[in-house]
């Protein structure tokens, strides 16, 4: 089974791709290291994205499987080792995906918070940095009381979410920016999440080999699940 907790940790905010992006396809290699209770989990995957189309993620460690997501929230999870496929359909899934996608958004300087239901309340200048405070539109329905985004030269470098008791529950640092045609992207993203007991989970993503051309001939941008794959529940897939 692909554990539901692992699945949720593999998703972040997805935004609609910008129509003006000059390239039609992008790919990247990603290594995620997550520390929980002093134990390290390493996840390796490759991203393949067609602008205006599908996102294909090929996970290679600790187990191999493919995840294909489109803008309608249709998700396929395919495990080659057992030739099984799980299917999900939920519009909410169209708004959750790789951080890689976030920086294709027109609202990338605000980390797409307005799409998430936040409104800008305050802007402060601190030297070369700009500090923006956002609040949710309907607090009674939200788990967060506010979000703070710090940018430098219009690039997000830090974001924090606060719960309704004004306690920081998640911090994210964006660093090591790389610039490609029409795309500026942080090749290192570090997230720290805090639980109610004050314990923290640290998750770091490192992006390498970000490409907009020169893809391998077998790059699975147009990945399709084999017709022979057996359909199963996502909660009954092989470990």
Judged against a pLDDT cut of 70, whether residue 90 lies above it is answered with no
Judged against a pLDDT cut of 70, whether residue 83 lies above it is answered with yes
Point out the least confidently predicted range of 20-24, 41-45, 135-139, 189-193: 20-24
Instruction: Check residues 215 and 140 and name the one with the higher pLDDT.
Output: 215
DSSP secondary-structure letter at 72? T
Strands, E assignment, the chain:
12-13, 25-36, 39-50, 55-61, 65-69, 74-79, 84-89, 96-97, 118-126, 129-136, 144-152, 155-163, 168-180, 183-194, 200-211, 230-232
Range among 61-75, 92-106, 152-166 rated most confident: 152-166
At 91, is the secondary structure helix, strand, or coil? helix
Tell me what pLDDT residue 11 has. Answer: 34
| Average pLDDT over the chain, rounded to an integer | 82
Tell me what pLDDT residue 238 has. Answer: 56
- pTM exceeds 0.85: no
Look up the CATH architecture of domain 4-216: Clam (2.50)
Tell me what pLDDT residue 140 has. Answer: 54
- DSSP of 12-61, one letter per residue? EE--PPPTT-S-SEEEEEEEEEEEETTEEEEEEEEEEEETTS-EEEEEEE
User: Average pLDDT for residues 170-184, to the nearest whole number?
Assistant: 88
In this prediction, what percent of the chain has a pLDDT beyond 70? Answer: 82
- The domains of the chain are located at 4-216
Judged against a pLDDT cut of 50, whether residue 135 lies above it is answered with yes
Point out the least confidently predicted range of 48-62, 116-130, 131-145, 217-231: 131-145
């Amino acid at each position: 089974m692909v554990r539901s907790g692992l699945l949720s940790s593999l998703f972040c905010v997805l935004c609609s791709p910008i129509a003006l992006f000059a390239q039609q396809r992008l790919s990247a290699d990603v290594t995620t290291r997550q520390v929980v209770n002093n134990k390290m989990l390493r996840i390796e995957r490759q991203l393949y994205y067609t602008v205006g189309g599908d996102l294909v993620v090929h996970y290679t460690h600790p187990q191999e499987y493919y995840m294909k997501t489109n803008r309608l929230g249709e998700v396929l999870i395919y495990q080659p080792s057992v030739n099984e496929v799980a299917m999900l359909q939920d519009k909410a899934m169209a708004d959750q995906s790789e951080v890689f996608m976030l920086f294709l958004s027109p609202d990338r300087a605000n980390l797409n918070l307005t799409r998430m239901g936040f409104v800008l309340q305050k802007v402060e200048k601190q030297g070369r940095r700009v500090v923006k405070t956002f609040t949710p539109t309907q607090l009674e329905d939200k788990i967060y009381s506010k979000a703070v985004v710090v940018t430098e030269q219009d690039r997000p470098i830090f974001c924090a979410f606060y719960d309704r008791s004004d306690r920081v529950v998640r911090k994210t640092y964006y660093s090591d920016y790389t610039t490609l045609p029409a795309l500026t992207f942080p090749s290192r993203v570090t997230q720290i999440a805090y639980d109610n007991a004050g314990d923290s989970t640290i998750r770091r993503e490192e992006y390498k080999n970000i490409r907009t051309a020169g893809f391998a001939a077998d790059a699975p941008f147009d990945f399709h699940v084999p017709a022979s794959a057996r359909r199963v529940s996502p909660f009954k897939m092989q470990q």
